[in-house]
């Protein structure tokens, strides 16, 4: 028997109100695979993530998580079925401590201390800086450190699939490298990842496969290893 994909999207059309933004999207993330969605501004990448999370109207198509059809389920049920979204802009509770922000990601554990501590220590192991600042208010951290807290909060839900929307946005170059290393480690731990990125270099460093999105459609799919310098230039040109 073959292992079911962490994510299987087939023929997905969705949008806002009566207006379709993504059309006939089919993509997959195998279990333990990291996959990137690349594309210019407005291509529909965020909309794909939001449709998978059940956050907007879903018109056609099916979405499977680990062989379970979640199409049309409300967002809170999809989250409980272990899909976690790290949204663009992080959305931390800035006046709360780092640790309280992390614990908020583990609310579904309903006070299971052992499980909570196990997940907290796996976050701290991946992000030592997050542990060092655990008692500080999130607002005292740099953008890169806050992004690590946002990812850590999602790790607290022990997701089957992690969706990340432009984690490098607004970060300094060194922080972007730290972010890339953290994502590579997450993937090495077996986390299935779907990553939206504007930075082709980061996506290729972290991911096994990429899809290029434009005009709400998938226009290209490729293994990261198949993209040579020329292909990279082509994608860069595509992204403007
Ligand atoms: P970016 O990198 O700029 O976030 P993106 O590829 O993630 O780009 P989306 O945010 O998915 O693109 O936007 C795709 C299209 O959907 C855009 O034309 C945008 O104007 C439209 N759109 C996004 N959010 C809404 C909304 N809440 N209501 C109506 N239209 C929206």
Confidence label for 1 from pLDDT (cuts 50, 70 and 90): low
Does residue 93 carry a pLDDT above 90?
Answer: no
- Residue 139 half-sphere exposure toward CB, CA atoms < 13 A: 4
Residue 25 CB less than 6 A away from ligand 1: no
Does residue 226 carry a pLDDT above 90?
Answer: no
103-152 pLDDT, tens digit each: 988 877 777 888 899 999 999 999 999 999 999 999 999 989 999 999 99
- Residue 19 half-sphere exposure toward CB, CA atoms < 13 A: 5
DSSP 2: P
Mean pLDDT over residues 159-172, rounded? 92
Q: Relative to the CA of 216, which ligand 1 atom is closest? A: 14
214 vs 21: CA distance, rounded Å: 11
Q: pLDDT above 70 covers what percent of the chain?
A: 97
Q: Which DSSP string do the residues of 66-120 spell out, in sequence order?
A: TTEE-TT--HHHHHHTTEEEE-TT----TTSBHHHHHHHTTGGGTT-HHHHHHHH
pLDDT value at position 146? Answer: 92
Residue 42 CB less than 6 A away from ligand 1: yes
- What is the pLDDT of the chain when averaged over all its residues? 90
Phi/psi for 60 (5° steps) reads -130, 160
Does residue 240 carry a pLDDT above 70?
Answer: no
Mean pLDDT over residues 205-219, rounded? 95
pLDDT value at position 63? Answer: 95
pLDDT value at position 118? Answer: 94
In this prediction, does ipTM exceed 0.90? yes
Q: Relative to the CA of 37, which ligand 1 atom is closest? A: 6
Helix ranges (DSSP H) in the chain: 45-52, 75-80, 98-104, 113-126, 128-132, 143-155, 173-188, 200-206, 229-239
91 vs 5: CA distance, rounded Å: 29
pTM equals 0.91
pLDDT value at position 185? Answer: 93
pLDDT value at position 76? Answer: 86
Residue nearest to atom 27 of ligand 1 (CA): 16
Does residue 221 carry a pLDDT above 70?
Answer: yes
Output Rg (C-alpha) for the chain, integer angstroms: 17
Closest CA to 7 of 48, 57, 64, 54: 64
Residue 121 burial (C-beta neighbours within 10 Å; 0-12, 13-18, 19+): exposed
| 14: its two tokens | 């969705």
pLDDT value at position 228? Answer: 75
Q: Relative to the CA of 44, which ligand 1 atom is closest? A: 11
| Number of other residues whose CB lies within 10 A of the CB of residue 32 | 15
pLDDT value at position 94? Answer: 87
Choice from 37, 47, 198, 203 to test ligand 1 binding pocket (greatest atom count within 8 A of CB) = 47
18: which residues sit within 8 A by CB, 6+ positions away?
Answer: none
The distance between the two most distant Cα atoms of the chain, rounded to a whole number of Å, is: 52
Helix axis angle for 113-126 and 173-188, nearest 10°, is: 130
Does residue 11 carry a pLDDT above 80?
Answer: yes
Distances (CA, A) of 22 to 9, 47, 97: 12, 7, 38
């Amino acid at each position: 028997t073959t292992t079911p994909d962490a994510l299987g999207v087939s023929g997905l059309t969705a949008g806002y109100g009566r207006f379709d933004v993504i059309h006939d999207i089919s993509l997959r993330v195998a279990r333990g695979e990291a996959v990137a969605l690349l594309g210019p501004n407005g291509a529909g990448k965020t909309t794909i993530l939001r449709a998978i999370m059940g956050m907007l109207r879903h018109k056609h198509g099916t979405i499977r998580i680990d062989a379970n059809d979640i199409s049309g389920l409300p967002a809170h049920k999809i989250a409980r079925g272990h899909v976690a979204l790290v949204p663009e802009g992080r959305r931390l509770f800035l006046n709360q401590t780092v640790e309280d922000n992390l614990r908020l990601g583990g609310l579904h554990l309903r006070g299971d201390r052992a499980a909570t501590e196990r997940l907290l220590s796996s976050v701290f192991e991946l992000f030592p800086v997050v542990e060092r600042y655990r008692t500080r208010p999130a607002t005292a951290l740099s953008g890169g450190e806050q992004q690590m807290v946002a990812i850590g909060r999602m790790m607290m839900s022990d997701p089957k699939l992690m969706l990340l929307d432009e984690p490098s946005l607004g970060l300094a170059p060194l922080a972007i490298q730290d972010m890339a290393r953290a994502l590579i480690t997450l993937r090495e731990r077996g986390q299935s990842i779907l990553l939206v990125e504007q930075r082709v270099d980061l996506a290729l460093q972290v991911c096994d496969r990429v899809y290029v999105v434009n005009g709400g459609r998938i226009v290209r799919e490729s293994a990261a290893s198949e993209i040579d310098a020329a292909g990279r230039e082509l994608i860069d040109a595509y992204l403007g």
